[in-house]
Amino acid sequence: MLNSLFIILNIVLFLLIICGLYFMQRKHLSFSKRVFTALGIGIVFGFVLQFAYASDRDTLSASIDWFDIVGSGYVKLLQMIVIPLIFISILVTFTKLKLSSNTGKIAGLIIGILIGTTAIAATIGIVTALGFDLKAVQIEQGDAELSRANEIEGKFDEIKDQSFPQKILELLPANPFLDFTGARPTSTIAVVIFAAILGIAYLGVKRKNPEQADLFAKIAEAFHAVVMRMVTLVLRLTPYGVFAMMTKAVATTDVDSVLKLGKFVIASYVALLAMFAVHLVLLAISGLNPLIYVKKALPTLSFAFTSRSSAGTLPLNIQTQTNQLGVSEGIANLSGSFGVSIGQNGCAGIYPAMLAVMIAPTVGVNPLDPVFIFTLILTVAISSLGVAGVGGGATFAAILVLSAMNLPIGLAGLLISIEPLIDMGRTAVNVSGSMTAGVLTSRITKELDADVYKAKLEAGY
């Protein structure tokens, strides 16, 4: 009975905070202020719950289940609009002639920047792991680590016989209707390819039957208007989703594991911050003010941090690029879509490189060997493209890199107890890499709207 009262109390407090965030929206406070307020309150509320129910995990777990209706519910709504948004936005760029003949060049630039920055991320991961003297033998393997090792080895058995060309073939949309359901790990990129092929077909029809092409374009633009309105409606819920997810993340964090493996957490975030600094340097070299990027990208990166979902962040990613950073719609959709599963700077760059350096001494390999370092950087860069063929994510990236380097696959599960905390930063860096690729590509192709980039941050949704 007492437990039920505490659960009700927690829910009431949660709803009061939600009402406070709604009041801020009614007062027309800017979107970024509401997101950061939600983030801060979520951290505080999470810590309160963490310490209040340290000895009563059942009450905390039951309360979190109710909070998840808002947090996980919001992520599901975002995932709901990802495929329709990508498909119709890319198709409309063809009907409005925003990509046309430059499509191949733009896609090549985006992929090149994503893979190139991942190679830099791998270098940073190696330097950080060596600088902090991280070693796998420093981590005690308990039941959780051993269970994770068995799980990873099982996943490796599923993909070990798949060649790199076969992974590339997985990107193609054999059945676009299946990919619209998101049934495959590569569905997002498959939908991009299908939309581009449909757009090219439209351009062919436009030359021969302009009347039919015009009708198709009007239908596409009408559908685009409805989808974009749906995106706006969902994105208005962002502060509530951020609050709920951050509350859950903080309240359920294993403090003992974080303290025990604090060195690994600190090293990971040093590497992630260094990679974020690289993004800013690249923007500065291209002639753009990196501080403007930070200010405009932070709400999106904050959501990526709390949600730990690059795919879930995709609608925010695209909207920020187009509305705040001046990136054309076509380039924003391509960079956002590719960035979900290709060249992820955090998950496919820094993480597997650090793991490889940590694990190498356990099998007698010198991590300071220049040949090992060069091979590792090259392997990480190539594997960051291959990740798309096996579903993406840090685990698959680690499996691909460790297997290619002949290192023990199972040891990829060593950091399982602090994985959620590290994954938050990795996801934010993944999304930043995707957005940076879009901005740089627009700058290189002279399609960036500098006035929008420099303009004052819009109030938002």
422 sits in the region (left: phi over 0; alpha: psi -120 to 50; else beta) called alpha
> Is 459 among the domain residues?
no
Kindly state the tokens that stand for 400.
């691909």
CATH of the domain at 243: 1.10.3860.10
Cα–Cα distance between 89 and 311 in angstroms, integer?
A: 16
Cα–Cα distance between 350 and 275 in angstroms, integer?
A: 9
Please tell me the predicted confidence (pLDDT) of residue 296. 92
Please tell me the predicted confidence (pLDDT) of residue 420. 78
Total number of domains in the chain = 1
User: How confident is the prediction along the chain (461 residues), in pLDDT tens digits per residue?
Assistant: 667 888 889 999 999 999 999 999 888 888 878 888 998 999 999 989 988 887 778 888 889 999 999 988 988 888 888 888 888 888 887 887 655 557 778 888 999 999 999 999 999 999 999 999 888 776 666 555 556 556 665 555 555 566 667 767 777 888 888 888 877 767 777 888 898 889 889 988 988 888 898 999 999 999 989 988 998 888 889 899 989 988 988 888 777 666 667 788 899 999 999 999 999 999 999 999 999 999 999 989 988 888 888 877 888 898 899 989 999 888 888 888 888 878 889 888 998 899 899 888 888 889 889 999 999 999 898 877 755 444 446 777 777 788 888 888 766 666 666 777 888 899 999 999 999 999 999 999 888 998 999 887 665 66
Kindly state the tokens that stand for 444.
């290189």
| φ, ψ dihedrals at 163, nearest 5° | -80, 165
* 84: number of Cβ within 10 Å: 17
DSSP 368-390: T-HHHHHHHHHHHHHHHHHGGGT
Please tell me the predicted confidence (pLDDT) of residue 151. 62
Axis-axis angle for helices 351-359, 262-285 (nearest 10):
140
Please tell me the predicted confidence (pLDDT) of residue 152. 60
- Is the CB of residue 234 less than 8 Å from the CB of residue 81? yes
Residues 6+ apart with CB under 8 A from 325: 293, 296, 297, 435, 438, 439, 448, 452, 453
> Is 460 among the domain residues?
no
> Is 261 among the domain residues?
yes
> Is 244 among the domain residues?
yes
> Is 139 among the domain residues?
yes
- Residue whose entry in the numeric block shows the structure tokens 């991590």: 367
> Is 306 among the domain residues?
yes
Task: Provide the residue type at 142 as one letter.
Answer: G
Continuous H helices in 387-417: 394-404
In which domain, by residue range, is 254 found? 2-454
Cα–Cα distance between 429 and 451 in angstroms, integer?
A: 26
Residues 6+ apart with CB under 8 A from 37: 21, 24, 239
Kindly state the tokens that stand for 357.
């350096």
- Is the CB of residue 231 less than 8 Å from the CB of residue 319? yes
> Is 195 among the domain residues?
yes
User: For the chain, how far is it from start to end, CA to CA, in angstroms?
Assistant: 42
Q: Minimal CA–CA distance to 428: which of 329, 335, 317, 328?
A: 317
- Is the CB of residue 403 less than 8 Å from the CB of residue 156? yes
Q: Minimal CA–CA distance to 69: which of 17, 23, 19, 11?
A: 11
> Is 429 among the domain residues?
yes
Kindly state the tokens that stand for 325.
């950073």
Task: Provide the residue type at 340 as one letter.
Answer: V
- Is the CB of residue 353 less than 8 Å from the CB of residue 380? yes
Cα–Cα distance between 461 and 455 in angstroms, integer?
A: 17
